């Protein structure tokens, strides 16, 4: 493969292409290893993962485990003024309830604490944090979410709607002066660290799915500082209540912000929340909460109007939908937009598609809607509570990757980091096995896909989904030289060997951004 001026000039046998290489040109000897197009992570929250600066709660299965994690982190961070945690699992909370401030009594050594659940859709505060925030049970709805109130009329410390409110422009503005983790410098260091991780993992393009206009400075700074190792496509967040004048600002920013490495484009919306706290919109009641079918953030008529308005402006929509009713509502809105605006190459996306009614499978291809899916989310060790809440009758079309691909839909894969591991090898492994990382259990294996299809979803399909297929997603002449060299031929190895496969070299536009 010959690269000239950042683009692939030719691909072929060595004796065919070596004449195109200029004398004295640099040579990258891949030693017979597999070279693949750079991975495109179509849904990756670069701004959220904190690493060692937060208590990492993934794997904590009991309240005692959570308290132990906090104690160990405090021992290692004696100068901390807040306890910021990430990744708590609802299965660790006894009795199937939500966590409470009182569960943390004595665990944080008098410091305020804010712990995010594994999905970043909810937060858990202790008493000290509630006091600093000025939280009041008489006004549970705040800029950054909705506090839960118990039967006595007191705040429990659990906050829902964090993803939809807390990560909004208003929500972050309310948190920033109080919670250090949301300060500008802390956010920048998270972005910088995440971009370095992406380059190590062969990810050459990242879609950051939820940003306000205030967040864009993080990426322009990263580009100026030379830290934008991967390309970034930033989606602008459209929370409930976004006005037409704000969408005008979005359009102006989209037109203004476009460089070789950073551009804006899609608009992010939510139709529902998530399954674990019973807040995803379901067609039938939850198996573990028969009085509830969850909730949607809009009525169907309201959502139709919002989506049609964005579509009329020529904007691409990324809609978060997890429940089967949420997915149906999103598809209905896209169908409505087509009816009122006429068909166009919109490439609207539904992100997650966790629970889908069988009747909806074919609608993605019919409407040209991209299912943007995260294979790792359906791993057996992750979905235990999800499975219980949804009920076995609805498991067959949980994360229906194979059915969607067979129907003709262009499925794009992503990690949803930091909700799950960023490593595409973990995503590829789960897509082809539907198994736990230790291989002990496989769930709904009939929806697994072959390795060629999984790799396509992480590269070529991701490029198409994000309107960059003319330049990215394949190793052919004329496209930009974004590629990764792998330690193993993933197209020929055993599925378990995917987890031991690593990226040896990552190249973006002909420049080596990572090498072992």
- pLDDT tens-digit profile of 215-267? 999 999 999 999 999 999 999 999 999 999 999 999 999 999 999 899 998 99
What mean pLDDT do residues 377-405 have? 96
pTM, rounded to two decimals: 0.93
Q: Dihedrals φ, ψ of 174, to 5°?
A: -75, -35
Task: For residue 106, give the 3-state DSSP assignment.
Answer: coil
- Diameter of the chain measured on Cα atoms: 80
pLDDT of residue 393: 96
Contact 101, 156 (CB under 8 A): yes
Residues 6 or more apart in contact with residue 452 via CB below 8 angstroms? 491
Whole-angstrom distance, CA of residue 275 vs CA of residue 353: 12
Q: Which residues contact 73 (CB under 8 A, 6 or more apart)?
A: 54, 55, 80, 83, 85
Strand order in the sheet with 83-88: 55-56, 83-88, 113-117, 123-125, 155-160, 145-149, 141-142
Are 113 and 126 within 8 A, CB to CB? yes
Structure token pair of residue 177: 């002066």
Q: Looking at the predicted structure, is the pLDDT value of residue 489 above 80?
A: yes
Cβ–Cβ < 8 Å for 409, 364: yes
Q: For residue range 131-188, what is the model confidence (pLDDT) as tens digits? A: 999 999 999 999 999 999 999 999 999 999 998 898 888 998 999 899 998 888 888 9
- Residue 41 clears pLDDT 80, i.e. is over it: yes
46-to-32, 193, 267, 338 alpha-carbon distances in Å: 33, 9, 17, 32
C-beta separation of 135 from 112 below 8 A: no
Handedness of CA 94, 95, 101, 102 (dihedral sign): negative
Report the alpha-carbon distance of residue 171 to residue 501 in Å, rounded.
Answer: 40
Measured CA to CA, the distance from residue 516 to residue 438 in angstroms comes to 26
Tokens coding 287: 């198996």
Mean pLDDT score of the chain: 95
Alpha-carbon gap, residue 117 to 134, rounded angstroms: 22
């Amino acid at each position: 493969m010959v690269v000239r001026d950042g683009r692939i000039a030719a691909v072929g046998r060595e004796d065919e292409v070596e004449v195109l290489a200029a004398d004295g040109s640099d040579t990258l000897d891949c030693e017979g290893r597999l070279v693949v197009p750079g991975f495109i992570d179509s849904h990756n929250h670069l701004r959220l993962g904190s690493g060692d600066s937060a208590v990492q709660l993934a794997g904590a299965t009991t309240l005692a485990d959570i308290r132990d994690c906090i104690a160990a982190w405090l021992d290692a961070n004696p100068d901390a003024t807040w306890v910021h945690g990430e990744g708590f699992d609802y299965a660790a909370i006894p009795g199937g309830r939500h966590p409470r401030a009182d569960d943390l009594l004595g665990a944080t050594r008098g410091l305020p604490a804010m712990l995010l659940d594994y999905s970043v859709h909810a937060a858990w505060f202790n008493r000290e944090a509630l006091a600093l925030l000025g939280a009041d049970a008489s006004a549970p709805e705040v800029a950054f979410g909705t506090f839960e109130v118990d039967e006595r009329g007191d705040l429990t410390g659990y906050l829902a709607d964090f993803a939809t409110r807390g990560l909004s422009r208003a929500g972050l503005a309310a948190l920033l002066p109080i919670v250090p983790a949301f300060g500008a410098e802390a956010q920048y260091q998270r972005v910088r660290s995440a971009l370095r991780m992406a380059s190590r993992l062969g990810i050459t393009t990242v879609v950051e799915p939820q940003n306000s206009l205030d967040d864009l400075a993080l990426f322009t700074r990263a580009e100026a500082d030379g830290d934008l190792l991967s390309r970034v496509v930033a989606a602008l967040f459209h929370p409930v209540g976004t006005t037409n004048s704000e969408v005008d600002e979005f359009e102006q920013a989209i037109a203004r912000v476009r460089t070789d490495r950073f551009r804006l484009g899609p608009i992010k919306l939510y139709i529902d929340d998530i399954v674990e706290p019973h807040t995803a919109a379901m067609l039938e009641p939850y198996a573990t909460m028969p009085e509830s079918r969850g909730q949607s953030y809009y009525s169907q008529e309201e959502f139709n109007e919002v989506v049609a308005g964005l579509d009329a402006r020529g904007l691409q929509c990324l809609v978060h939908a997890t429940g089967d009713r949420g997915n149906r509502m999103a598809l209905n809105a896209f169908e409505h937009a087509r009816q009122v605006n006429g068909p166009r190459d919109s490439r609207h996306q539904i992100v997650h598609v966790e629970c889908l009614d069988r009747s909806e499978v074919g609608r993605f291809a019919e409407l040209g809607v991209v299912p943007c899916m995260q294979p790792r989310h359906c791993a057996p060790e992750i979905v235990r509570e999800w499975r219980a809440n949804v009920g076995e009758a609805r498991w067959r079309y949980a994360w229906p990757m194979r059915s969607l691909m067979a129907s003709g839909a262009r499925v794009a894969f992503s990690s949803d980091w930091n909700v799950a591991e960023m490593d595409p090898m973990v995503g590829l492994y789960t897509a082809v096995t539907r198994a736990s990382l230790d291989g002990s259990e496989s769930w709904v294996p009939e929806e697994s896909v072959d390795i060629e299809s999984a790799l396509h979803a992480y590269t070529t399909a991701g490029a198409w989904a994000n309107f960059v297929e003319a330049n990215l997603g394949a190793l052919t002449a004329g496209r930009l030289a974004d590629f990764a060299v792998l330690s193993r031929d993933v197209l020929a190895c055993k599925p378990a060997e995917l987890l031991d496969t690593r990226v040896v070299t990552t190249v973006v536009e002909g420049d080596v951004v990572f090498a072992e």
